[in-house]
């Protein structure tokens, strides 16, 4: 392949998530989620922003799919809101809830766009949180019931299933730092959550396999980052290894090696009561997946800090340019993490299930949205991806985060990741320059200027 080129059939897509774009939180029989409760809790999100309306995608999905078709997307990654299917998280399914996703699948099918469905992108039914949430082992079995029901109902129409989006973020930001729903500060609950998310993934994979002949493929999506020491000192190298041990290896090792990383079990075991990891659990967790989804945004740079309780480290800014999130633009990190996965963890196909950047986009007097920094970010990461694939790593698709500006969790609507600008008061979608550029990349199946 020429420099910047991609293999024939490479799957070009864009990604979103239910709570970030759908809105209509009280329509169609949807139950409350932990993000409804969290975002309506004063002080938890910027300016008190909530997903009540978001991008109103619940009502505008036909127009949004039309734009996806005009972009030339081959695939669209979205998540199903569990509380739309099971408003109480369990029991009787809600026909209006699944009907929305069937309508969305109809539009995608008409547009020739393959659906990539994430079953859990952070919006746990509040009713399950009230019964203990992810720290409670029973929630893993409720997720498996939800997943099995979805496989039965939509399995013939969905070629790619992703069980979870970023168990690290759900565990740590939701249950240790408290920046995300349900907003806990309880490390022991965080590690129980991590184990139950992985267990629920394994139970779902088992249900998927037991469902007999299945046309689709199933995997999981992890946020993965290379972790570099701030200096070559032994202390900084060790700090980087510890951070790598939590962000990356705490999830990769159970999934692909059937055990938690020994060094980190030793490290955290001294600080926190860790959950029992039975052989049966680890066998379920480490079943083969058909693919691994990788969300990549940036690298981490860390130095030793003996005063920090959890990992004795301090994250520092890398020298590169920063996006609006304060994340360093570091395209080489995408190649580093993908090559490491292929060499050290799995020969399974990989997908970049999220990559993108937030910048302070504005609508120019001419009505256009000029976002050269985003185009540069995407171009550099796609050039890196092209080189990785040319080097033999089986990356089969790329999903840009995000199709449209949306509710950026605790940052509310203050951060814009979309290639479509959303004018929230009117809900107009305005193509940014990066949308026109991405359409040209897809048409060429190669990076363009
Ligand atoms: O922040 C941008 C996106 C977010 O909108 C997606 O819902 C989520 O899947 C997502 N994950 C990351 C990268 N991981 C991460 C790490 C620490 C804090 C927050 C996100 C970025 N993003």
Measure the CA angle with vertex 302, ends 297 and 304; round to 5°: 160
Domain 11-444 matching CATH 3.20.20.80: the answer reads yes
Average pLDDT over residues 394-400: 98
Residue nearest to atom 2 of ligand 1 (CA): 408
Ligand 1 center to residue 280 CA distance, Å?
Answer: 31
DSSP structure string for 253-301: HHHHHSS--HHHHHHHHTTS-PPP--HHHHHHHTS--SEEEEE----EE
Atom number in ligand 1 closest to CA 356: 2
For residue 408 and ligand 1, the question of a CB distance below 6 A is answered with yes
Residue 276, exposed/middle/buried by CB under 10 A (0-12, 13-18, 19+)? exposed
* ipTM, two decimals: 0.98
For residue 401 and ligand 1, the question of a CB distance below 6 A is answered with yes
The pLDDT tens digits of the residues spanning 14-49 come to 999 999 999 999 999 999 999 999 999 999 999 999
Atom number in ligand 1 closest to CA 409: 5
Ligand 1 center to residue 272 CA distance, Å?
Answer: 26
Q: Are 352 and 14 in contact (CB under 8 A)?
A: no
Q: How many Å apart are CA 393 and CA 388, to the nearest integer?
A: 6
For residue 407 and ligand 1, the question of a CB distance below 6 A is answered with no
Statement: residue 212 has pLDDT above 80:
no
For residue 413 and ligand 1, the question of a CB distance below 6 A is answered with no
pLDDT given for residue 215 in this prediction: 83
For residue 295 and ligand 1, the question of a CB distance below 6 A is answered with yes
Statement: residue 70 has pLDDT above 90:
yes
Tokens of residue 34, six digits: 């932990």
Domain coordinates of the chain in residue numbers? 11-444
For residue 247 and ligand 1, the question of a CB distance below 6 A is answered with no
DSSP annotation of 214 reads -
Q: pLDDT grade, residue 252 (50/70/90)?
A: very high
Instruction: Establish whether 354 is a catalytic residue.
Output: yes
Residue nearest to atom 13 of ligand 1 (CA): 223
Give SS3 for 127: helix
Average pLDDT over residues 252-261: 98
Statement: residue 214 has pLDDT above 80:
no
Ligand 1 center to residue 27 CA distance, Å?
Answer: 26
The pLDDT tens digits of the residues spanning 91-149 come to 999 999 999 999 999 999 999 999 999 999 999 999 999 999 999 999 999 999 999 99
Ligand 1 center to residue 354 CA distance, Å?
Answer: 9
Q: Are 259 and 175 in contact (CB under 8 A)?
A: no
CA dihedral for 288, 147, 203, 249, sign (positive or negative): positive
The pLDDT tens digits of the residues spanning 414-449 come to 999 999 999 999 999 999 999 999 999 999 999 999
pLDDT given for residue 213 in this prediction: 59
For residue 300 and ligand 1, the question of a CB distance below 6 A is answered with no
Q: What is the mean pLDDT of the chain?
A: 98
For residue 122 and ligand 1, the question of a CB distance below 6 A is answered with no
Ligand 1 center to residue 247 CA distance, Å?
Answer: 13
pLDDT given for residue 3 in this prediction: 87
Average pLDDT over residues 61-83: 99
Q: Which listed residue (354, 384, 408, 443) is catalytic? A: 354
């Amino acid at each position: 392949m020429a420099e910047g080129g991609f293999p024939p059939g490479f799957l070009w897509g864009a990604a979103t998530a239910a709570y970030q774009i759908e809105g209509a939180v009280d329509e169609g029989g949807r139950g409350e989620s932990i993000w409804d409760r969290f975002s309506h809790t004063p002080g938890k999100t910027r300016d008190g922003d909530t997903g009540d309306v978001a991008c109103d995608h619940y009502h505008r999905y036909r127009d949004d799919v039309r734009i996806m078709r005009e972009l030339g997307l081959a695939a669209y990654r979205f998540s199903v809101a569990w509380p739309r299917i099971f408003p109480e998280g369990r029991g009787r399914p809600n026909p209006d809830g699944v009907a929305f996703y069937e309508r969305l699948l109809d539009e995608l099918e008409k547009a020739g766009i393959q659906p990539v469905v994430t079953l859990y992108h952070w919006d746990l039914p509040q009713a399950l949180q009230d019964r203990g949430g992810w720290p409670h082992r029973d929630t893993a079995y409720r997720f498996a019931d939800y997943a099995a029901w979805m496989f039965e109902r939509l399995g013939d129409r969905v070629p790619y299933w992703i069980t979870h989006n970023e168990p690290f973020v759900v565990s740590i930001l939701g249950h240790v730092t408290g920046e995300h729903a349900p907003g806990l500060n309880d490390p022991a609950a965080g590690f129980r959550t991590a184990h139950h998310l992985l267990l629920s993934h394994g139970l779902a994979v088992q249900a998927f396999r037991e469902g007999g002949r299945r046309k689709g493929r199933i995997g999981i999506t992890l946020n993965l980052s290379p972790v570099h020491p701030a200096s070559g000192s032994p202390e900084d190298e060790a700090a980087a290894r510890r951070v790598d041990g939590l962000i990356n290896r705490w999830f990769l090792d159970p999934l692909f090696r059937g055990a938690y990383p020994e060094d980190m079990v030793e490290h955290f075991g001294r600080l926190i009561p860790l959950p029992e990891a039975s052989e049966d659990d680890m066998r379920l967790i480490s079943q083969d997946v058909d693919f691994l989804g990788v969300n990549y945004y940036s690298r981490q740079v860390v130095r030793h800090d003996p005063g920090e309780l959890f990992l004795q480290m301090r994250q520092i800014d890398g020298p590169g340019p920063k996006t609006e999130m304060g994340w360093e633009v570091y395209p080489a990190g995408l190649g580093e993490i993908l090559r490491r996965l292929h060499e050290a963890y799995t020969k399974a196909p990989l997908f970049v299930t999220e990559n993108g950047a937030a910048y302070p986009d504005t609508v120019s007097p001419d009505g256009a949205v000029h976002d050269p920094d985003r185009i540069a970010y995407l171009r550099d990461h796609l050039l890196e991806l092209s080189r990785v694939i040319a080097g033999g790593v089986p990356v089969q698709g790329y999903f840009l985060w995000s199709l449209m500006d949306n509710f950026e969790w605790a940052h509310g609507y203050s951060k814009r990741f979309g290639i479509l600008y959303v004018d929230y008061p009117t809900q107009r979608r305005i193509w940014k320059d990066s949308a026109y550029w991405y359409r040209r990349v897809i048409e060429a199946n190669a990076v363009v200027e």
